[in-house]
Amino acid sequence: MSRKGTSSFIIQRASAVLLIPLAIWLLINIVAHIGADYASARAWLEAPFNGLLLGAFLIIGAWHMRIGMMEIIADYIYSSLKGALLFINWLVALGVIAAVAWSIYHISFAG
């Protein structure tokens, strides 16, 4: 992760700015959908923009989370575990992005 400091700094802030409206939107929708059953949750997700906004929150958030967790690992882990944890951190971010993108493609475009 060396020599990526400046780009990580910029991406972390750019993603933060994008996540502000998305997080507000998510908090409002958590209010409206706590404990929703399958049919009503599915109807909500299939409505225009809901899937895209949830997908955008999770995908942009995955990248924001990866950088944040990378900083935490870099600050506290000095052992040989560090490389493995950074690798797992990448896998988690890429896994979330793949699963979310596939879900949103399926529900918003292919479904």
Site for other proteins, rule CB under 8 A: 13, 16-17, 19-20, 23-24, 26-27, 30-35, 37-38, 41-42, 45, 54-55, 58, 61-62, 65, 68-69, 72, 92, 96, 99-100, 102-104, 106-107
How far is 22 from 58, CA to CA, in rounded Å? 9
- Asked if residue 12 lies in contact with residue 64, where contact means CB atoms within 8 angstroms, the answer is yes
CB nearer other proteins, residue 68 or residue 90: 68
Residue nearer to other proteins on the CB measure, 4 or 42? 42
55-79: burial string, b at 16+ Cβ within 10 Å, e else: bbbbbbbbbbbbbebbeebeeeeee
Taking the complex as a whole, the smallest distance from the CB of residue 84 to other proteins amounts, in Å, to 17
